[in-house]
Amino acid sequence: MRCLSCHKLSLSTFCKKCQTNLLQPTILQRDFGDLKVYSFFKYQNIEDLLLTKHTPQGFKLYKALAKLSFKPFMQKFMQEDSRMVYVVGIDENVKSGYAHVALLTHEMKVKNVKVEHAKLMAKNQNSYAGKNLQFRLENPRDFVYNGKKGIEVILVDDIVTTGTTLKEAVKVLKQNGVEVLFALTLASVV
């Protein structure tokens, strides 16, 4: 196969060179009120790759990026923590053949971590792409949560832009007795 990034022959989704030079995750932190959001990549650095999101390649891309970022993060995080932590992905709906966020949360299954798959679903499926804050505020996602109550969770989304979606998700989870420790996203648009 060929590397998804440089298109040279490679045995894995990304060749070793791209993994080292281009796809080393770093942790970016953004604060939205009480909510801390950690992201692994700057959106503009992997924009070309993320634009394949709605193509068959996107499935491989999300899986490979999650293995490089979410997985090692959780392994390290849970080393220092002995309590049970849950993971809730935002709107794990199937679009273009797969649920993008589910590929990310799937890689977070390590010891003492339980993933609540497809438990926080949006009733409003309007696309936010290219839309401003005003539009996002006027068209809330209308989340419905039907997962476990009284738990501590890490909230997961693929991209954070204005934080509107994450804040709305936290509010709905709180109403269900769920405490969000922090949010993790693949990329941040800053």
Rounded least distance, CB 58 to Zn ion, Å: 17
**Position of tokens 């992997």?**
46
Please report whether residue 5 would count as binding Zn ion according to CB under 5 A: yes
Least separation, in Å, of the C-beta of 18 and Zn ion?
3
For residue 166, give every residue at least 6 positions away whose Cβ sits within 8 Å of its Cβ, in sequence order, or none. Answer: 32, 35, 37, 90, 155, 157, 160, 183, 185
User: How many residues bind Zn ion, per CB under 5 A?
Assistant: 5
Tell whether residue 15 is a contact of Zn ion (CB under 5 A).
Answer: yes
Minimum Å gap between C-beta 20 and Zn ion is 10
Counting beta carbons within 10 angstroms of the beta carbon of residue 140, is it exposed (0 to 12), middle (13 to 18) or buried (19 or more)?
middle
Helix 70-79 / helix 56-68 crossing angle, nearest 10 deg: 30
The least CB distance from residue 16 to Zn ion, in Å, is 8
- Nearer of residues 6 and 78 to Zn ion, judged by Cβ: 6
Residues of this chain that interact with Zn ion (CB under 5 A) are: 3, 5-6, 15, 18
